Amino acid sequence: MSDNPLNPSLPPAQDAATLAALKRRTVILLALVAPAVALTVLLVVTQSRATRVADLADKAIPTLLINADHTWTSTSMTFSDAELDVLETRDYVYRSYTDGKGPPVDLCVIFSEDNRKGTHPPDVCLEASGARIVSRQDRPVVVSGTPLTMRDVVVITPSNQYMLFSYIYMCGGTFTPSYYQQQVQIVWNGLTRQNASGALIRYSTPMANSSDAPRARARLDELLTVSFPHIRDDLVLPR
């Protein structure tokens, strides 16, 4: 007859080993579950906050951009209510810039203070609209002393127009061409109480044909050079 009060069928030594094993499993389970719970709570809290209705992005980037050679003027464009519902933010700037020396360059900046869903991968949105992606590549540039890696995407629209898109993501004060890296950075910044605001910064211009990418890229970079410093320095949350 066993004198083990927890399990009469087991000797005391075996029962102690069982308790130790259960304690180890509990610790391991808590170590795995706790971070997941914390992350889930953070995402629920940040994405359940009211939709931001502001014009921070619009104020950050001037409608008139001037450099040493010429002046860029712009006309504003808008997203539909359905598109804004998907983005879950109304803080954006969408303009078409021209300097009278070539095709227009569109600039779209979608900003969100506290919602990761405010920035979507442009590649997915382009394909969903019926465009066919011909090529994509990452390329390094330096703008006003800031090294950037832009992601270039060449597409053919449903109307058979070649277009060049060049974009980058912002999270706080960091920039990346990777949507997933930006999402991870937003979560990390939120957990560590840093600036977790995010933005998609996208430039686009038409191409004359399939071999027109170098000219179109140079055209995009002209607007990037004069507009990015405003995005970097002025698209920040008020203290």
Element (H, E) at 126: helix 122-128
Does the pLDDT of residue 91 top 50, yes or no?
yes
CA distance 195 to 53: 19
- How far is C-alpha 181 from the geometric centre of its chain's CA atoms? 8
Element (H, E) at 24: helix 12-48
Whether pTM > 0.85 for this model: the answer is no
CA distance 182 to 172: 10
pLDDT of residue 142: 96
Phi, psi angle pair for 108, to nearest 5°? -125, 120
Element (H, E) at 181: helix 179-191
Q: Which class is domain 51-234?
A: alpha beta
Lowest mean pLDDT among 27-41, 106-120, 154-168, 172-186: 27-41
Does the pLDDT of residue 34 top 60, yes or no?
no
pLDDT tens digits, one per residue of 157-174: 999 999 999 999 888 778
Identify the CA nearest to 75 among candidates 96, 105, 99, 106. 96
Tell me how far CA of residue 239 lies from CA of 95, 143, 166, 195, 232, in angstroms.
27, 26, 31, 11, 16
Domain assignments of the chain as residue spans, ordered by start: 1-48, 51-234
CA distance 207 to 103: 9
Residues sharing a CB contact under 8 Å with residue 5, sequence separation 6 or more, in sequence order: none
Contact 140, 149 (CB under 8 A): yes
Contact 52, 89 (CB under 8 A): yes
DSSP state of 51: P
CA distance 196 to 180: 14
pLDDT of residue 124: 74
Q: Is the dihedral of CA 142, 144, 148, 154 positive or negative?
A: negative
Mean pLDDT of 15-41: 57
CA distance 222 to 236: 23
pLDDT tens digits, one per residue of 126-145: 887 789 999 999 999 999 99
Q: Report which of residues 208 and 184 the model is more confident about.
A: 208
